[in-house]
Structure 1
């Protein structure tokens, strides 16, 4: 070749490459770029057909275009897959360099495809890589139906065109991907907006179906929810969708069950070729040719599945599964919100029903104390209408205990309930005694305060009757008892000396019995006084050891009479205590007599005391049947007696008095016991202070 010829050839090549570059620079759409590359190659190199397969960053085919003469064939990625894996294109991808085959019948790298229009005969082919900054972005193949139709110069020319096209193809692919991602995000954003427009479950289902049908352009969409061990289809839209509603699929069965179990969606391009597709997957009345099945998920939990069936374009887009997975996630969140909303609505309705039907008056206020709602019982008891109540504040309706609630209700800000007794102000200006329970609640989605104003008129009347009865018992029995004691003393002195010993033992029994009656009457009165909140009034400095030994002297005869032993553990250095001496005496007597009463013949009763941190800790231990753990919390309640120990007499007042008396002095009382191993009662009384000791000495 002469120099002028070489120069002309170079100029022609440069002009060609410039022309190709200019053509490609004016387009960003991937299909347009591919078609222009193919047309330029066929026009300037020759050949019968030319194809390009576009690869993604992972080397996977994402698009392909073939030109036969002047006719363009698109969407042929599936057809080119075998060629890429085992044919000439695959060899070029692996070696990243171009190749010219003069006769395809003599080269094993050439793979005959089923879609070849001319399957027989030899051909010639050129195949080159498309590179962009050393990144493989595709493969271009040029074919002539006759062998030896190309040359190495044409191979170089095709490679030069491919080198020019590489950047354009990469840019177009990235642009197309970005456009596709934008469309997906737009579709998902529109779907999210549409789905979240309602919290009614039936509307949510329909919105999910509509968005799925629009995004994937399919004939039918179905939505199934996990209910127990099955998937139940609760909504459907499109062709023959009415036959789908109510269909159930057992969890784990077919493709649908697998999607639910594994939480991963699948695309089934051809149902007839999917081996895992079973009869369980078929939806009644719908001829299923292709499907995308995706899980409906929320917070990592599969709530159900959504199925898009039979694309109108016959095949699903490459992003179909991505779109369906996104819709499934959005649907899961929306459905869960709708479920929570339905449960909340049901809870509100239950609260409203309970609120209205409560036998107690209930009012709801804001945090300023303004009444915003009241139930039927509140209007009946107060005499106000609901509208009139809503014009009042809570302190106008009853006397608020500000020490309990706080002046700005700050003590109600937590989860604690505040209770106190008060008086309800009726419309007619009369008053009703009430027990108030106030706590923080959410009412109609508003942070509020609930006030239960329980009418305790009957209880107050019973309390008054009880106090009258107690007073009557105390005053009406005390004088006759005093007379009996005096009479017994007179009788003792009137009996002749000879008969005195015999009669004295009988009189002693009578005297002990009257003492017990007096203690019972005093205990009844003290229980009533202490329960009403009256303080212990007659506290004095009392010698602990002297008190204990005086009590032992009183109870020892009855204990000995039961052939029981009495052991004391009372140190001489016990400090004095600050107590009501009569109450303290009765506490000790009650516990000792109880221990003796519930212990068998021959048992040992122990009394002990120790000084501990400003308190004297007493204990009384017996060898009785013990107290079951289930009874220990109630043993100090009034009128409580142990089950299964019916042979012992008593009203169940003694231990209730002991509790109130000890607590009235600021002390503690408790029991330790194992069934069958006896019981030990513990209690504490305060040690007298130096000031109390000094004041007592002056008196």
Structure 2
């Protein structure tokens, strides 16, 4: 508003608010705001025109009522109300416990919503720089509001400010009942419809009842094109033509003063005004009023009225037009908010449907209200088969959990649950749910966000299996070492010869080597995958390596009554390899063959040279390996599942494959998977005789 308000203009603001028609509208605005934000508590503080304390209204459970307290003066002069009154701006209180703007002296007893609030959103209800009151929303959880909410609430506060100012400005004139009825109907229409054209036409219709005009227009401003275009019109002889008018903004035109300088303009005779542009729909215009439509210091358009009479309008007419312009601003701003909300809802709907997590919305009674695409896929049921049924009908465990967590969820606290379920085809489904209260369709509901943790549980199972297998594989050799250590003193005391003692020491060394090989294999698998193991290559004789291998595995074959045959090697020159890694590779292959071959069977090791390639084969007459599992066995933790089969970590063949590839070679298996025909594993590596410097 362009003029300062006087106390006579607002005899008693709170008295006006308490009139049934006005109070009902304000109650509806506040209630709709609470529903939109998904909360249930707010308060409306009203100041007198001189800034003095008037009344405080509290809305709980969507019902606005006056709050009485002997501490009312202190409540207005401290904390949030005093801060908004002083600075005339809105604010988001992330945490009421730590924000000084919220704090009250300890001797002040505030309304219950003050005590229960953990976050708040407060905006001034003001016209120009005159603060008429404060609208305050509270939530029982911290960080509930953000700056986007503040912008939305500013629109609501602007609506209330325009409504309060208009009613109390015009109520001083008892004869102006029609204006009050018009403004009330406009306010109700703004709050009850999303049709912008309907609201704008209604505003012009009611403006016609209180200000005489021959035609009126609502024009919106395109800043980039510096052009005004007609969005709504009334009274023109050719309405189609009037709605197509576009007026360029020039510094010499009266429109410039209204749009750029944000000032109302009254023209007594447009024919005497330089820069006045007559359009096809304004040829007969003589008197004219143009007031800017301003949203937070930004001009978005104009409301104009005109007459065919000279000097038709006075300042009071411009003030009334300005009042209606405030409603135009509110309607346009609401339309923008609705458009933004639709975009947000559309984005949310897309995010909801496209989420990689299962999402289910239920009532507190367990009725399923909505599910996303992922939920239908994971549960293997169509969406329409899920919506509307009881959660307990599908999964009683979830219904029981909901009942047990109801109080926690009602306090806006999140609950979590890990549970094993089954889909519609009775396949296992391991889920981790995060459950919280949400506002859905204006009601407190429950959102279940479920994530498939089958892979995580499988990793945990594999990790535990690895630990169990590792303990099993190490326990035997470590037990042997302990037995040998305990026997050595007895051998010495018994006077045994050095040869017996050396055999025991040799056995201890061999057992320790098995443990070391097992640990090195585990470490090397991970490092070889990442390429972080530099090979300790040197020139070595394969015959020497095979002798060590035979010595290491011979006792294993003997214990199982397996005939182990290591065929003589063909003449081979020394080759450039990592001897330790190749030794462990061959030990793994031979040990595997011994483990899986039944007692009384045989294992054969042979080698051959093919040009510049060395091939070492390990064959057995064990149960064989099905073709379907032959690729799987070279993966980490990949093992053949057989009844009463040998235990193991499942890293041996993975290590063999990686070690062969680190030498530029490969490893393969040939087996029909027929018991008794066994398998043949073949190591192939290039024979590098003289490495390049």
TM over 0.5: no
Interval containing the TM-score (normalised by the shorter chain): 0.3 to 0.5
